[in-house]
């Protein structure tokens, strides 16, 4: 089993450029999440999804959009990248939204110049 | 506001025991998680506590006191591979996970 796979692993963008991060899971999980991790701070939730076709805002959604057209995929888009979006992005999934263990992807390191 | 506090960094010796504390102030409580994260890697699940008391899993144990808003992760017989960050996270009344900033554990020979 691949588990949770994120692409790309690394990306450098210029301010104003757009990009999409792809997250794919093969565990048939309903719940999927996008987090960002910055030095000295806890993981912060950007957006999440409780099932195919549904999305919801997390703690820091501004500047990001998401889509969950298929159960196994959760896409994170940056329409106009800003240097403040330089971060490591983690996708995670779980079978249970409250008590379930989160399974994380390997992370995507994004630098915005 | 909601807050999770953990020490930023701890140092311990190979073979010894270390206790990593986590205190939380959240709107409600529906469980507490500990995750391990090696540098440059993804977090991986270690433990889940929802009731008071100690949960033991091999060399790792996790304790919870809901009345005190307190948990600790106990690592015994430390090995060099235990050098990592340890993340405490609490599920609040809305079933949202609130994450601490993590404790970087350095193991010395």
The 3-class SS string of chain A reads: CCCEEEECCEEEECCCCCEEEEEEECCCCCEEEEEEECCCCCCEEEEEECCCCCCEECCCCCCEEEECCCCCEEEEEECCCCHHHCEEEEEEEECCCCCCCCEECCCEEEEEC
Q: B42 and A105 in contact by Cβ < 8 A?
A: yes
Compute mean pLDDT per 10 residues along chain B, 109 residues long, and list them: 92 98 94 96 95 96 97 98 97 88 97
pLDDT of residue A28: 94
Q: A42 and B87 in contact by Cβ < 8 A?
A: yes
pLDDT of residue B70: 96
* Contact list, A98 vs chain B (CB under 8 Å): 30-31, 91, 95
pLDDT of residue A98: 67
pLDDT of residue A2: 76
pLDDT of residue B1: 72
Who among A43, A98, A107 is closest to B99 (CB)?
A43
Who among A58, A90, A97 is closest to B42 (CB)?
A90
**Which residue of chain B has the CA closest to A109?**
B40
Q: B102 and A107 in contact by Cβ < 8 A?
A: no
- Write out pLDDT tens, residues A70-103: 999 999 999 999 999 999 999 999 987 666 799 9
Q: How confident is the model at residue A42 (pLDDT cuts 50, 70, 90)?
A: confident
pLDDT of residue B19: 98
Q: How confident is the model at residue A37 (pLDDT cuts 50, 70, 90)?
A: very high
In contact, A93 and A33? CB cutoff 8 Å: yes
Q: B43 and A104 in contact by Cβ < 8 A?
A: yes
Q: A98 and B30 in contact by Cβ < 8 A?
A: yes
Q: A45 and B102 in contact by Cβ < 8 A?
A: no
Tokens (6 digits) for B91: 């599920």
Tokens 């971060």, residue?
A87
* Contact list, A105 vs chain B (CB under 8 Å): 42
- Report the candidate in A25, A104, A67 with the shortest Cα–Cα distance to residue B97: A104
- On whether any CB of chain B is under 8 Å from the CB of A39, the answer is no
Q: A97 and B35 in contact by Cβ < 8 A?
A: no
């Amino acid at each position: 089993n691949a588990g949770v796979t994120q692409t790309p692993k690394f990306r450098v963008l210029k301010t104003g450029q757009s990009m999409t991060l792809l997250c794919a899971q093969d565990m048939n999980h309903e719940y999927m999440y996008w987090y960002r991790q910055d030095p000295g701070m806890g993981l912060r939730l950007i957006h999440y999804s409780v099932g195919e076709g549904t999305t919801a805002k997390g703690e820091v959604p501004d500047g990001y959009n998401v889509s969950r057209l298929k159960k196994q995929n959760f896409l994170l888009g940056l329409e106009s990248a800003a240097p403040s979006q330089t971060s490591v992005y983690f996708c995670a999934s779980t079978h249970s939204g409250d008590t379930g263990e989160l399974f994380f992807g390997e992370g995507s390191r994004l630098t915005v110049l | 506001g909601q807050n999770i506090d953990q020490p930023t960094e701890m140092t311990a010796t190979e073979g010894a025991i270390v206790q990593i504390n986590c205190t939380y102030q959240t709107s409600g409580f529906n469980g507490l998680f500990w995750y391990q994260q090696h540098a440059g890697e993804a977090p991986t699940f270690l433990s889940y506590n929802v009731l008071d008391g100690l949960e033991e899993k091999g060399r790792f144990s996790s304790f919870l006191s809901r009345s005190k808003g307190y948990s600790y992760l106990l690592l015994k017989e430390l090995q060099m591979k235990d050098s990592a960050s340890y993340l405490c996270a609490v599920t609040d009344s809305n079933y949202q996970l609130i994450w601490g900033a993590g404790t970087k554990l350095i193991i010395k020979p």
